[in-house]
Structure 1
Amino acid sequence: MTTSLSWLRAEIQERMLDKLAPIKLSPKQILLEPDFSGLNRRAFIKRFPGAQIDTILDRQIYRTIPLRIKLQQTLGRVLPNSGQLLDQGIPADASYDLILSNLSLQSRSNPGAWLANCHQHLTEGGLISFAYLGPDTGKELRNANLEGGHLQALPGALDMHDIGDALVQNRYSDPVMDMEYLYLEYETGQALYDDGLALGLISAGTQFHQFKVPAALKLTLEIVYGHAWVLAKNRGIGDSKTAYIRVDAIKRK
């Protein structure tokens, strides 16, 4: 997603904060993924005063110590010109009470692996919250370009039930999933085409004259929201009736 749609991430950021409003949470360490032009750090600082806030942008992780940002360390890298994130994970020594992911999960080739990695870096009682583009995003483009060839699928744009299952499989507790549709209307086919490229729905290299613009000049965005807690982190994986505790998690009184 390019900076031309940073307004969309900014809008989703506000909606995510609204969804977190009724949740009692006082995190000291927060990871926002990704950083983007238009990210309102002040909103997070107001909502979570005193928290250390890290944000990911391309290869770097930036640390905000209220109203001050400095380069902290290298995190990973982005595939050039593809828009797909390499699942290289959070730095091994990083630990967070809250991880928020804003319209990034749909670009990951393995969302389950990313959720598992986040679980490792969330503290006991920590929360993961995310929003991503669901499978109905850009359905008008598919209907207009039935011959294919100029469109590409978002690898992590899974049904919210699939992501909910992945949360349970990766030992998150009390997952909550919901979704909404946003509808974008355009004055020109060129503007719609530009947003389709920015969203990763149109294959890179496709020229405007090769692309069939939907007659209605509209674009549907399916926004899927989810959050879940990290509880009983030392409990091993078992069935629904049996809990297993790792030996190294047993402490003598």
Structure 2
Amino acid sequence: MRDDHEAAPFDLDRKLLRRALERAALGYDKAAFLHREVGNRLLERLNLIKRQPETIVDVGCGTGAITAALMKKYRKARVIGLDLAPALVKKACKQAPWLRTLHGAVAEPEALPLPSASCDLVFSHFALPWCLDLDRVFAEFQRVLKPGGGLLFSTLGPDTLIELRRSWAAADGYNHINAFLDMHDIGDALMRARLAEPVMDVERLTLTYSNVGGLMRDLKALGAGNFTFGRARGLTGKGRLRAMQAAYELFRRPDGLLPVSCEVVYGHAWGSIQNRSRLRGDGAAVFPLEQLHRHGRENR
């Protein structure tokens, strides 16, 4: 991990992030309405994957609301929940009593505590916004996938919180919002990780608040604070806060509400064809029959 002198402005202080998520566990669910809505939409996309996975890892299981629905969909599967904060996973285990956890449940997506080729499905809902090095993350997802395994994830694009980002920019020159990665950059990272047949799409949702204070309280309740190394150190002065609030007022809609933009990015892919094949002694590649059947149906 880089220290403060080596870190880039949008690199994240992982220790601060973990502590914030730990504190947020108690009131997380009350503020997680976007998380639940997008999580349910992500679950619906599992209907595209016809196979019944035996082992699933939920990377970023949070408090387990979506994990419980995942377990209900695949009742016979072994579901492993991982997150950055033990308090979140402890709460997840209450919502989903059959959830499996490993190594105290504290796990970085860049270093999963799982054997190679051990999972039929990698499911990750809103964990990637906290990961700037997607090459490492997707390499790990590729590593733990079994031959023919599937990856399904959701994350946030750069237009997320764009009103708040612009309002803070009018108040000072520090970072206040994370650097969310573009859909095309995410797709390129999937290709570099040699994950097969990646499919990406984006959906734009708008939340509304009566005032900026409500948005700031919800972000704090979610543990979604400003953990970039380019943030201002110390407390934010009242003058800068008032300047940000005044700038945000320029976005107020005719109905009297303030918009909050959310650019939701969805993606799915498969373990690479190379990893799903094996070589015979004469050097010929051998593919599982079910894989050929699946590709044949898709190409009709």
Instruction: Name the TM-score class by shorter chain.
Output: 0.7 to 0.9
- Provide the aligned C-alpha RMSD in A: 3.0
Correspondence for 1:242? none
2:178 partner amino acid: L
- Superposed CA deviations along residues 107-127 of structure 1, whole A, max 9, x for unmatched, are 113012100111000011111
Change over 3 Å in CA distance of 1:142–1:59 after alignment to 2: closer
- Superposed CA deviations along residues 154-174 of structure 1, whole A, max 9, x for unmatched, are 24x211111111111111111
Going by fraction, where is helix more abundant, 1 or 2?
Answer: 2
Matches within 5 A, 1:2-17: 2=24, 3=28, 5-17=31-43
In the alignment, structure 2 segments of 5+ residues that lack a partner are 1-20, 253-257, 283-300
Correspondence for 2:298? none
Matched residues, number = 231
Correspondence for 1:220? 261
Of 52, 64, 78 in structure 2, the residue corresponding to residue 26 of structure 1 is 52
SS at match of 2:76: coil
Correspondence for 2:98? 68
Of 76, 87, 91 in structure 2, the residue corresponding to residue 50 of structure 1 is 76
Going by fraction, where is strand more abundant, 1 or 2?
Answer: 1
Give me the TM-score of the superposition, normalised by structure 2.
Answer: 0.67
2:113 partner amino acid: P
Matches within 5 A, 1:46-195: 46-58=72-84, 67-69=97-99, 71-74=101-104, 76=106, 86=108, 88-93=110-115, 95-147=118-170, 148-155=172-179, 157-195=180-218
How far has the Cα of 1:193 moved from its partner?
Answer: 2.1
- Superposed CA deviations along residues 186-238 of structure 1, whole A, max 9, x for unmatched, are 12221122235543458586548332121122211111010101142438xxx
Correspondence for 1:250? 279
Identity score, percent: 29
In the alignment, structure 1 segments of 5+ residues that lack a partner are 78-85, 236-244
Asked which structure has the greater CA Rg, the reply is 2
Change over 3 Å in CA distance of 1:142–1:57 after alignment to 2: closer
- Between the aligned partners of 1:206 and 1:200, the Cα distance in structure 2 is 13
Give me the TM-score of the superposition, normalised by structure 1.
Answer: 0.78
Change over 3 Å in CA distance of 1:208–1:51 after alignment to 2: farther
- Between the aligned partners of 1:227 and 1:46, the Cα distance in structure 2 is 21
Change over 3 Å in CA distance of 1:105–1:158 after alignment to 2: same
